[in-house]
Amino acid sequence: MVAELLSECGVSYTHLNALSPFRKRKHVRGSAQRNRGIEWIRNHPLPYNEKGIVFFADDDNTYDPRIFTEMRSTELGSTWPVGLVGGSMWEGCITDPNNRSKIVDFWSVWRPYPRRLFPFDMAAFAVNARLFTLFPTARFDYKRAQEQEGYILSQLGFRSAFDLEPRVNGCSKVSTIHSTDEL
């Protein structure tokens, strides 16, 4: 079913899968699958003149298709707001109203900045694919439940979420919704 859906989308793809370690399934979900994707990226590097972006899509989110076009302009790493997260209408970056290319703050109900250096959902960022070859040990783990975003981004050389490039009209619009949360 998945292969059929992907083939009907009209984009090139590689469909990967990985089983979660049984004892770790309850704590941190998705690490084995994301690490399988990272491994594939490292084993299939892009030609020098091509650019690739990595985005970790989750099955519990809904995406405006325009976000995929928007993230293609990512130089190193980018971020944008996500709707309906953690009991809030939205969560994510806030930019200077006079300079939409500068992140000045973050809105997050759960462990806001500075307690969490990357205070946003997995659906709120994308990174340049080359970072996974520049940082060959970067990977997700099974220990940091609800902190996987910051864990992977810090391994890719980002010191905090302020290092990321704001997207979606300077973080002024929501284009990704965390579909399973309720207000």
Say how far apart CA 61 and CA 80 lie, in whole Å. Answer: 14
| 92 phi, psi to nearest 5 deg | 145, -160
DSSP letters, 84-118, are EETTEEEEEEEEETTEEEEEEEEE-SSS-TTTSSS
Residue type, 103: I
Q: Longest C-alpha distance within the chain, in Å?
A: 50
User: Is there a binding annotation on residue 60?
Assistant: yes
Whether 8 is catalytic: no
- The strand pair at 88-96 and 61-63 is best described as unpaired
Which candidate, 33, 27, 45, places its Cα nearest to that of 140? 33
DSSP letters, 25-38, are TTTS-SHHHHHHHH
Choosing from 70, 91, 149, 165, which is the catalytic residue? 149
Say how far apart CA 61 and CA 68 lie, in whole Å. Answer: 14
Active site residues: 149
Annotated binding site: 60
Annotated binding site for Mn(2+): 60
